[in-house]
Structure formats: structure tokens, C-alpha cells
Amino acid sequence: MRFIAKRLCVTLITLVLVSLFTFAAFTLIPGDPAALILGTEGTEEQLAALRLEMGLDRSFAERYFSWLRGFLTGKLGNSVRFRGEAIAAMILERLPVTAALASLALVFIFLIAFPLSLAGIRRGGSLSDRAVHTLTALNISFPAFFLGILFIWIFGVILRFFIPGAYVDYREDPGAFFLYLVFPALAIAIPNAAILVKFLRTSIEKELRSLYARTAYSKGASPNGVLFRHVFKNAVIPSVTLLGMIVGEVFSGSIIIEQVFTIPGIGRLLIASINSRDYQLIATLVVYISFIVVLANTLADIAIQIIDPRIRVH
């Protein structure tokens, strides 16, 4: 309990610092957000009214603490970029889309990483072992956005498995919605799965050379018995921390993929808010992404403690 309380305090401090630095960064950027929104046709009266509405006449500290108070109470106010829309409603509308994309990507990561990590592991230098090493090295070098563009060209334009840009809302047709997310989720999953495969295989190979594995072999245990009863559990423990980082990467990495596949999730909303310098909306979305990343790493540390209490995570 003491460890969990300590981690929660670190999470809270991290989120406060992230929100503060985000507000400060966008305040220091040159330019007038009101003029950017109204364009060249905005009059001085309109600019003054919009600056007043955005709170630009107040000091940075006043605007920051006003937003922080609203964030903690759930009263996030209205977006200036999307006139008349409540920030909380906008996030809640798009959150299921990003959550579905990230969840599907995580499923693909597990389905790809764990079988490939075990493929050819006991026959070093075999065809399957060399194939896994080659695929892993190749996929690590491909960023998610490049794979997304490649998937659109091959499976969308050439093979016509889906229509690029023809996003289907989950409330209209859940089946078509998830089918459209398959290729964006794969684009996110493949590079992350490749990293996990490389890490897991290294851990498994190291454990197979350990003394306890040799002892199990000498007592007549089968190769599969040693691998799955003893080695795999110990090899997974170092990978739990990496999994926490991957979860955060999946949620934050969906920002670019949503742009590539025109998916109306949290990522596209964040890009739109940055372009219009909507400070309150930017800070809220950045804190949301930071919360996911920090929470994933915190849960990974807690999981390590549960799997092996002898390990002390500081």
C-alpha cells in the first residue's frame, strides 16, 4: 500500500507539471490566437471580444489555475476552436474511438509478439529463428505512420480491402467501425510488437542458459516443460516494464495514425486544438495522454511486485 501511495503521488505531481509546462509552452509561442481564429477579416472589436472570451486579458497564473480548477471539478468550459461545444462532451464523444483503436492495437501486439517470441527459440540458427530475427529487425525500423501510408496504398488503393477515408461511426455500424480500425491498429501494433519480440527473445535465451534451467534439464524435464513452467515466467518479468511503456506508446502513437486514416479520435482533436491554439483544450488532452502513459507505467510496476514480491521497484 505504501508503494502504491507513493506511485500515485508521483503520478499526480507529474500530471500537474505536464499541464503547467503545456500551458507555458503555448503561451510563449508568438502570435495572437484570436487573430488566428478570426483570420484577416476580423475587426478590432471582434478581436477584443474574442480575447476577452478566451481569457487572454488575464495573467498566465489566473488562466492556468482557472483551467486546473475546472479540470478537477469536471467543468472544463467551452472550446473556442469549436464554438459552443463543451470540452468535456467533445472528449467523451471521441474517447471511445481512440480507446477502441488502442485496445485493438494492444490485442494485435499480444497476438503477434508472444507466438513469435517462442518461434524457433529452442533451435537457434534454424530457418524459423532467422526469419523471426529478420522480421523483427525490419519492423522495428518502420514507423507507424509509414506503415499506415503503406497499408492505405496496398490494401486500400490497390487491393480495395477498404476505402481510405471512409470512416464509419461506431454508433451507426459497430462491425464496419471495427473493420475500418484493423489496418490502423496493425500499423500501430507491428513496430511495438517487434520491439517486444526482440526483448522477450533476449530474456528467454538468457534464462535458458541459466543454472536452474540446466538443473531442470538434468532432472529429465522436457524442453517445453522447462520453457513454459520455469523460463517463460521469469523471462516475462523484465518485459512487464516494457509493456507499460508500449501501452503508453500505443495511446499516444494513435495521434499520428488518426491523422493518416482520418479517424475522428482524441489525436485529431488535439491537432485541431494546437492549430487554433485553444489552450484549455490542448492542456486537457495533453494531461489525458500523460495520465495514460503514467498510469500504464505505474500499473506495470505494481504488476512486477505482484508477480515477484522479491523485486523492489523504486
Q: pLDDT tens digits for 225-276?
A: 787 787 887 888 878 888 888 888 887 778 889 999 999 999 888 888 887 7
Number of domains in the chain: 1
Q: Within a domain: residue 244?
A: yes
Question: Closest by alpha carbon to 94, among 20, 167, 5?
Answer: 167
pLDDT in tens, 18-58: 888 877 877 777 666 777 667 667 777 877 887 777 777 78
pLDDT at 222: 79
The pLDDT confidence band at residue 109, using thresholds 50, 70 and 90, is very high
Q: Within a domain: residue 134?
A: yes
Q: Within a domain: residue 161?
A: yes
Q: Within a domain: residue 190?
A: yes
pLDDT at 311: 61
pLDDT at 180: 94
Q: Within a domain: residue 286?
A: no
How many Å apart are CA 67 and CA 70, to the nearest integer? 5
Beta bridge partners of 78: 86
pLDDT in tens, 183-235: 999 999 999 998 898 888 888 888 888 888 888 888 888 777 787 787 887 88
The CATH number of the domain holding residue 206 is 1.10.3720.10
The pLDDT confidence band at residue 292, using thresholds 50, 70 and 90, is confident
pLDDT at 126: 67
How many Å apart are CA 197 and CA 27, to the nearest integer? 42
Q: Within a domain: residue 179?
A: yes
Non-local (6+) Cβ contacts of 77 within 8 A are 67, 70, 86, 87, 280
How many Å apart are CA 137 and CA 58, to the nearest integer? 52
Q: Within a domain: residue 265?
A: yes
For residue 172, CA distances in Å to 96, 141, 175, 177 come to 14, 37, 9, 8
Cα dihedral across residues 117, 120, 121, 125: positive or negative: negative
Across the chain, what does the average pLDDT equal? 82
For residue 174, CA distances in Å to 49, 97, 121, 170, 243 come to 43, 11, 39, 5, 28
How many Å apart are CA 303 and CA 314, to the nearest integer? 13
- Eight-class DSSP state of 40: G
Other beta carbons less than 10 A from residue 222's beta carbon: 11
The pLDDT confidence band at residue 63, using thresholds 50, 70 and 90, is confident
For residue 65, CA distances in Å to 56, 152, 159, 283 come to 14, 44, 52, 12
The pLDDT confidence band at residue 75, using thresholds 50, 70 and 90, is confident
Range of the domain at 144: 88-270
Q: Within a domain: residue 185?
A: yes
pTM: 0.83
Q: Cα 186–243–111 angle (5° rounding)?
A: 40
